[in-house]
Chain A
Amino acid sequence: MGDLIEVRALTRFFDLGGNQFVHAVDKLSLTIGEREIVGLVGESGSGKSTLGKTILGLYDKTDGEVIYRGGVLPQKYRPTDFQQLATKMQMIFQDPYSSLNPRMTVGEIIGEGLRLHFNISESDVKEQVVDWLQKVGLQADHMSRYPHEFSGGQRQRIGIARALILEPEFVVCDEPISALDVSVQAQVVNLLGELKETMGLTLLFIAHDLSMVRYVSDRMAVMYLGSLAELGKANDVYFNPKHPYTEVLVGSNPEPDPEFEKGRVSTSIQGEIPSPVNVQSGCRFANRCPKVLGVCREKTPELVPMKGEDRLVACHLVS
């Protein structure tokens, strides 16, 4: 499996003025193999969405680079870059309510990308829209309806059809199921899984729900305050976490099993994710880490391979 995407020391800061910078993504490196699903987890504000958007060029890169099929993508996209790359890379958004234009019909929403990026006839657009409505489990006559007439799960399918009709290779799914009820989450997850198989998609799957990410992903990346704490096979990371932060995340994830839940000792940690403004050196997790060492506050641990394991961990205890 070759790499489709290589993220090299990617950095994205937001300038708050007065020499204050949000270190939303900070020298982050990650490769995503062809037809692979990489799950990305981490607390709110850790930089997951910013990473996804920066990879896609929706944000300019402050530093570092993104390599796609061996070619370096522009640091700052021009309209023609979007024009070219939109058919290769797409994004599916969290909120199925606000990410669809309420004044456009479902047919217009799904077909918009085709009209914009390809020189094709209106009847061909229509044909493909109908095809995609069916692929995502909706009906042809839904084309002339408006988003508000659909349930959350259906709207998320519309968002999926809109992104995938362009037949991209790489899709960032930013919390595609967080706003949905449990019974509907499985519909969307299974749909993405099927489409991955039939279209050969590569996905960066961002979500809060660790159980779902483990289920969906080949590999799992754990993000904390702009950088990766751990990266490895999804099952390994979940069942045998190496980074103390991953341990805490997994330990906080409530499982639908009362005997297990009531028997387990609480692993909850004190404190909250610190502000990502002007981050200090040293391990970013040091002030909350239950296993913190002296060196952790001075030296920033690199994300390095663990001896004898197919795993990358950024922790002084491990390296």
Chain B
Amino acid sequence: MTANKEDTNVRPSLLIVEDLQVEFDTYGGTVQAVRGVNFSVDQGQTLAIVGESGCGKSVTVQSIMGLIPAPPGRIIAGSARLRGHEILGRKTVGGGEIRGAEIGMIFQDPMTSLNPTMKIGDQIAEPLKVHRGYSARNASLEAVRLLELSRIPEASKRARQYPFEFSGGMLQRAMIAMALSCKPSILIADEPTTALDVTIQAQILDLMLELQKETGMAIILITHDLGVVARMADEVAVMYAGKIVEYGSANDIFYRSAHPYTVGLKEAMPTNDPARQHELKPISGSPPDLFAPPAGCGYCSRCPYAMQICSESPPQNNGLHDHHSASCWLHHPRSGIKPDTLFFGDAL
């Protein structure tokens, strides 16, 4: 478990997820959406989970939040411990609500969690009354304060408006206000800026960083945008076909990329360094079918480095240094390849 930092002397992580496995029953068969995921998050830190669509990012965090619809979904193995307490499949921890209170969440489309027929202020006030015992008046005041905290101009006027009167960026701010209402220790943000313009994205990302500084909350940020990862993340988990294939600090992932998929992603993107222009190199093929995941490495069919063993058995998670690790046979201690030669620092 290189990804988890229990073995070091620092205090244990806020949230530790181990061997998470999630399936869905569909007409076509069983989708193995998440196939053994491990990671941990510390207070005040941001973990980015990055990977292409369908690789299991959302299912991973929805499992933690207890949002997997069952049926068709099923958590078949694993644990998620918040300050040492198991939360998978539970609603409360130590007497407190998990969803909304311990962990707040925002989504790509704010309307999935807003009621279109209810005023924004009332929607923020509601859980404060229900879960926190606020009086109606105090809940309304607190809702306005939270909108101000999310830098919504004219907050008291805005609180009396309906969602359709808000732009996409404003709705995302309102969502953040709502997610923060119960002072969560972790904010999970699933593609929070994917639908927004870069200018509005920058505002929302800045807001998240500022609020993290003020509250010390941890952030789990899901994105497929490596630029957003570079801006926000302390730690990065690169996901592919239901597994984390590389894990490390942002600098490890970008400057000492170890997994061929991470390298492939970087080579497929333009750089903005005029001195280091390169031809875009697409990753050929497409991700494997999660109805029948490959026996070996999930990336095997697209990997330019694939060896015989890669198609036969899944690579283990190989620790590299600190807590940088990669699930790839190239990094197996007995691959005979010197680890130093396997960092693709010049890929970008």
Interface residues, chain A, with chain B CB atoms under 8 Å away = 43-44, 151, 153, 181-187, 189-190, 208, 210-212, 214-215, 235, 238-239, 248-249, 251-262, 266-270, 272-273
Contact = CB atoms under 8 A, between A and B. Distances in A.
Given A255-B272, A256-B269, 4 more contacts: A43-B200, A187-B282, A190-B280, A272-B169
B71 interface: no
B135 interface: no
A254 B200 CA distance: 12
A239 B274 contact: yes
Contacts of B308: none
Interface string B204-231: 0110000000000000000011111111
A33 to B, nearest CB: 22
A182 B265 contact: yes
A154 to B, nearest CB: 8
Chain B contact residues (Cβ within 8 angstroms of A): what range?
A: 35 or more
B201 A258 contact: no
B271 to A, nearest CB: 8
Given A186-B269, A189-B280, A257-B348, A252 B254 contact: no
B197 A254 contact: no
A254 B232 CA distance: 10
Interface of B: 52-53, 167, 169-170, 197-203, 205-206, 224-231, 233, 250-251, 254-255, 264-266, 268-274, 279-284, 286, 348
B199 A256 contact: no
Nearest to B50: A182
Contact of A255 (B52, B197, B230, B233): B230
Nearest to A267: B202
Contacts of B197: 43-44, 208, 273
A256 B283 contact: no
Contact of A256 (B201, B202, B348): B348
Given A256-B269, A272-B167, A184 B282 contact: yes
Contact of A252 (B199, B225, B226, B270): B199
**Which of B52, B202, B224, B251 has the most chain A CB within a 10 Å cutoff?**
B202
Contacts of B266: 256
A248 B200 CA distance: 11
Given A181-B224, A183-B268, A249-B199, A258 B286 contact: no
A254 B221 CA distance: 15
A186 B268 contact: yes
Which are the 10 A-B pairs with shortest beta-carbon distances?
A: A254-B227, A215-B270, A268-B202, A186-B282, A183-B283, A252-B202, A186-B280, A256-B226, A187-B282, A181-B52
Contact of B268 (A182, A258, A266): A182
Given A182-B269, A183-B52, A183-B268, A258 B251 contact: yes
Given A256-B254, A256-B269, A268-B203, A186 B281 contact: yes
